[in-house]
Amino acid sequence: MNTPCNFTEKDITRAIAESFFKSFNDCIESDCIIVGGGPSGLIAARDLALAGKKIVIIERNNYLGGGFWSGGYLMNKITIKEPAQEIFEELKIPFTEYKQGLYVADAPLACSTLISETAKAGAKILNMTSFDDVVLRDKKISGVVINWTAISHLPRSIAALDPIALESKIIIDATGHDAKVCGRLAEQGIIKMKGMGTMWVEESEKVIVEYTDEIYPGLVICGMAVSTVFGLPRMGPIFSSMLLSGKKAAGIILDKVTKDEIRDTKDENIKSSIV
């Protein structure tokens, strides 16, 4: 039976505003900010959140998932190769074996399940929020500068609106092909970016995971951003290395973020794209 409302429009607005700002306040200082909510960023966020870390995902679109919604060419089936089917088993995403070692799954089901598991693990999500810059203090990344995505699409004459900053112990660049966070450091001559290589699936699936690492103090890269930074081959609509790379990024961070030790990261352990 439908009961009468004992609230009005103002209560709905207050419920949203109060709950949003409480949640937003929690995003201002975190253990890890993940820029980009595609498959690599989502799985990293989920693993870190499950390990008890305070995680914030920054996503410029109004929806999460990045390229995981489609298997390319507007066909909504995706592929993975072994051993990434174990991640699907862990997430309870159904899949079938197409041929030995190659699996196919329904993209909307896989993508929505990964999003749901990430949110349920406790990762905070700021959607319609674009990465704009890094906070770089004493040669360590200490946060990100963000703004509403809409701002960058408006004429400057009506949208000269300053961004704001969030702080965290470590950042992940999971912005896919664009490698936006790394791009900002490259613009400043701090790191080098080679640009994404051409397609070679067997090689790419292997090296993207291998090269997933902390590439500058406080900055880890995963997913297709790794290809763009190191000039590694791309792989097209197969997502195993995206998931494995995101998991590796989370593992690297869990090793480092023991209490506040991340701030003592030794520069000499860092891979070589620093200029």
- The residues of the shown chain that bind ligand 48F, judged by CB under 6 A, are 35-41, 58-61, 66-68, 130-131, 174-176, 178, 180, 223-224, 234-235, 237-239, 242
Nearer Cβ to ligand 48F (72/263): 72
> How near is the Cβ of 144 to ligand 48F at its closest, in Å?
9
- The answer to whether 174 and 182 have CB atoms below 8 angstroms apart is no
> How near is the Cβ of 8 to ligand 48F at its closest, in Å?
36
Any residues with CB less than 8 A from the CB of 221 and at least 6 apart, and which?
172, 173, 174, 179, 181, 182, 212, 213, 215, 229, 249
Nearer Cβ to ligand 48F (8/123): 123
> How near is the Cβ of 159 to ligand 48F at its closest, in Å?
16
d(CA 131, CA 173): 10
Query: How would DSSP label each residue in 83-131?
Result: TTHHHHHHHT---EEEETTEEEEEHHHHHHHHHHHHHHHT-EEE-SEEE
Nearer Cβ to ligand 48F (11/187): 187
Nearer Cβ to ligand 48F (52/236): 236
> How near is the Cβ of 248 to ligand 48F at its closest, in Å?
13
Strands 140-148 and 164-173: antiparallel
Q: Specify the DSSP class assigned to residue 190.
A: S
Nearer Cβ to ligand 48F (84/262): 84
> How near is the Cβ of 14 to ligand 48F at its closest, in Å?
29
Tally of CB atoms within 10 A around 254:
16
- The answer to whether 251 and 243 have CB atoms below 8 angstroms apart is no
Nearer Cβ to ligand 48F (224/262): 224
> How near is the Cβ of 227 to ligand 48F at its closest, in Å?
8
Strands 102-106 and 124-126: unpaired
The gap between the terminal CA atoms of the chain, to the nearest Å, is 67
